[in-house]
Structure 1
Amino acid sequence: MGEGEGVESSNQPDTRISSPFLWRGDSYPSILDSETPDHLDRIRDLGIPYIFDIHTHFFPETVMKLIWRWFDNVNWAIGYRLPENERVGRLHHNGIKRFTTLNYAHKVGMASSLNDWTYTNYKNWEGAVPFGTFFPEQGVLGYVKKAVEDYGFRGFKLHCEVSKLNLNRPELADTFLYLQEKQIPILIHTGTAPLPGEFTGIEFFKPFLETYPKLCVIVAHMGASEISAYASLLDAYPNLGLDTTMVFVDFLATGKAEDMDKAVSYLERYQDQIYFGSDFPNIPYNLNHPITRLLNLPISDFAKQKILYQNAENLFFK
């Protein structure tokens, strides 16, 4: 893969024509040029001081450009192909004053250096909540402890599809037990959408959770496209949560429209275990789109407060 050039929305692939991922109806929200955060008054009326986005990505520039090139190859438009400081400005512009620094490794020897890079840079991103990552390799527990005890990281990110990661690998047991004891959250992309992987899906996740029942885990994309299977675990595992990343939007990369509509009821029932996430900057629509869509859902104001702000605030700063 090469490196992409340019930051203007006109350079984006046209997902209306050839994307393998569908849009709801004729929806195609514009990117960047018409961004208007008209949700800010609405969140203030709900008593939400700011939005806490639990699913935002930060990588070294060379790695981020490689990721964007992958998305280009599947004609997935990157809505915020901008320099890093401008991306942070877009988060603030949309009322997102706290956000995570998610990245992940796909090969041996990469995770520790990503953690070092995050630690060196995250203080430049006002509102950033530092997250690390890890990989099944020699020394993993040591650099995870360093990230927690020396760097002060608040959580970790794993991506089972990209990393070809089986969560049940025995060489990660000591690391998971350590994070369980410390109650450090792990945000895990374990679902089968937008693309399945060798070790994605509830069949791998459920035995993992049974092994570490008190581990604080947040499932990205609500486990799409197996939302009901992941949601069925919430009653039995109070430390389990789901994030809303790319679920209740008009871009249907995480499942069918009817499945997304059925999932709305989980937001009310499990309002204490659901977290707002955007997948910024790798989204093919304006950042206000997932926020407004969530605000428009038929759920209580209390649920909206918890999902957009309070749950993450309690998890990391209580």
Structure 2
Amino acid sequence: MVQPPDDDADVPRYWRELGLPGLVDVHVHFLPDRVQAKVWEYFEAAGTHYGAEWPVAYALPVEERLAILDGLGVRAFPTLPYPHKPGMAAWLNEWSAGFAAGHPQVLQSATFYPEPGATAYVEAALAAGARVFKVHVQVGSFDPRDPLLDGVWQRLEETGTPVVIHCGSGPLVGEHTGPEPMSGLLERFPRLQLVIAHLGMPEYREFLDLAERYERVHLDTTMFATDFTERLMPFDPADRPRLAALRDKVLLGSDFPSIPYAYAHQLQALHRLELGEGWLRAVLWENGARLFGLSRR
């Protein structure tokens, strides 16, 4: 039996013993320096926001963060920008395209916000090579069913482009978080290729329902089942069989670099679910590789 990694240095041993060429992590952030600094400032005050301290484990310069991911064996990852107000999305998309152009392991990412012109700049991002979009319903404080986004969702449904969407009510409840807005969105656009971030925490059960009901709805493991999250938003072990049955729709996510523990702990947390090595191989590499058309080379 393969043993979970002891620490970050042991992660390559872990995926090699599972017979994998590396990891595909669908939930990694690289942001413009000024934006990244603001995000880290927010987490420094996490005790005020969340009632729990959140020491960022990898608050390091860009090149050091890239080197850490390379050493871990993360072969592909996005940058997942997200705006918190109008007028940000287009320039975040331009920055992300430039970053991806200089780093072949990066899945070119883009984002959007409910505002006039959103459909046009999403179309421009797709034409420029965007492979994945990020939406943060709680930070953006908008309803994903906003009519200003109808053209965006229609285009993303047509292209099948994955959208990593933070829509659960954890770690903070937002006006438009939770399963209801997403259920309404999927009723209108049932073939959206959505990746529900954080497995929808804390509404795990309701988002499992959506993944079972809709062919293209996936779940990512970002912070799921870690000690940190289990203290705040525990997962009911009775739902593990459902998670096992969804093995082809669950994707590794980490939230690197803004996590309050070592990267290896996310893999340890998934391993101790005891869903089997086949499930782990699917989650850590196979599903992400299939979604983004990656080879094993």
Q: TM-score, normalised by structure 1?
A: 0.85
Change (3 A) 1:231 1:50: same
Q: Is 2:79–2:107's contact at 8 Å kept on the other side of the alignment?
A: yes
Is the aligned partner of 1:95 residue 2:73? yes
Where does the alignment leave 5 or more consecutive residues of structure 1 unmatched? Answer: 1-33
Aligned AA for 1:69? E
Paired residue for 1:296? 272
Residue among 223, 246, 252 paired with 1:270: 246
Aligned to 1:213: 190
Q: Which residue of 1 aligns with 2:173?
A: 196
Q: Is the 8 A contact 1:56 1:101 kept in 2?
A: yes
Unaligned runs of at least 5 residues, structure 2: 1-5, 47-52
User: Does the alignment pair 1:238 with 2:215?
Assistant: yes
Distance 1:198 1:109 in 2: 21
Q: What residue identity is the alignment partner of 1:65? A: A
Q: Which of 127, 148, 170 lines up with 2:105 in the alignment?
A: 127
Contact 2:201–2:233 (CA<8 Å) still a contact in 1?
Answer: no
In structure 2, do the counterparts of structure 1 residues 122 and 214 end up closer, same or farther at CA, with 3 Å as the change threshold?
same
TM-score (norm 2): 0.91
Root-mean-square deviation (Å): 1.6
What is the rounded CA distance, in whole Å, between the counterparts of 1:42 and 1:260 in structure 2?
27
Return the alpha-carbon distance in structure 1 between the equivalents of residues 207 and 140 of structure 2: 21
SS across alignment from 1:143: helix
Tell me, yes or no, if the aligned pair for 1:132 and 1:155 is still in contact at 8 Å: yes
> Is the Cα contact below 8 Å between 1:247 and 1:260 reproduced in 2?
no
Amino acid at match of 1:38: D
For 1:157 and 1:90, how far apart are their aligned partners in 2? 23
Q: Which residue of 2 aligns with 1:249?
A: 226
Give the secondary-structure state (helix, strand or coil) at the position aligned to 1:218. Answer: strand
Instruction: Tell me, yes or no, if the aligned pair for 2:199 and 2:220 is still in contact at 8 Å.
Output: yes
Which of structure 1's runs of 4+ aligned residues deviate more than 6 A? none
Match of 1:26 in 2: none
Cα distance between partner residues in 2 of 1:313 and 1:106? 30
| Range with greater deviation from structure 2 (94-103 or 262-271) | 262-271
Amino acid at match of 1:166: D
Change over 3 Å in CA distance of 1:173–1:107 after alignment to 2: same
Q: Tell me, yes or no, if structure 1 residue 141 matches structure 2 residue 113.
A: no
- Aligned residue in 2 for 1:313: 289
CA contact (8 A) 1:224 1:255 kept: no
Q: Deviations over 1:232-282 (max 9, x none)?
A: 12222110000010012111278433x254443333110011001000001
Equivalent position SS for 1:267: helix
Which residue of 23, 27, 30 maps to 1:58?
30
2:84 paired residue number: 106
Q: Shift in Å at residue 299 of structure 1?
A: 1.0
Name 1:164's counterpart in structure 2: 141
3-state DSSP of counterpart to 1:313: helix
Amino acid at match of 2:227: D
CA distance in 2, matches of 1:85, 1:52: 19
Distance, in Å, in 2 between the alignment partners of 1:263 and 1:98 is 29
Distance 1:132 1:57, change over 3 A: same
Change (3 A) 1:101 1:262: farther
User: Partner amino acid for 1:307?
Assistant: V
Structure 1 contact 194–254 (Cα < 8 Å) conserved: no
1:132 partner SS: strand
In 1, the alpha carbon distance for the partners of 2:164 and 2:8 equals 29
Q: Is the 8 A contact 1:106 1:162 kept in 2?
A: yes
Q: Equivalent residue for 1:223?
A: 200
Query: What do the CA deviations read for 1:97-155 (whole angstroms, capped 9, x no partner)?
Result: 21111110011110000000111122333411111000111111111111111x20101
Identical aligned pairs, as a percentage? Answer: 34
Cα distance in 1, alignment partners of residues 238 and 248 from structure 2? 19
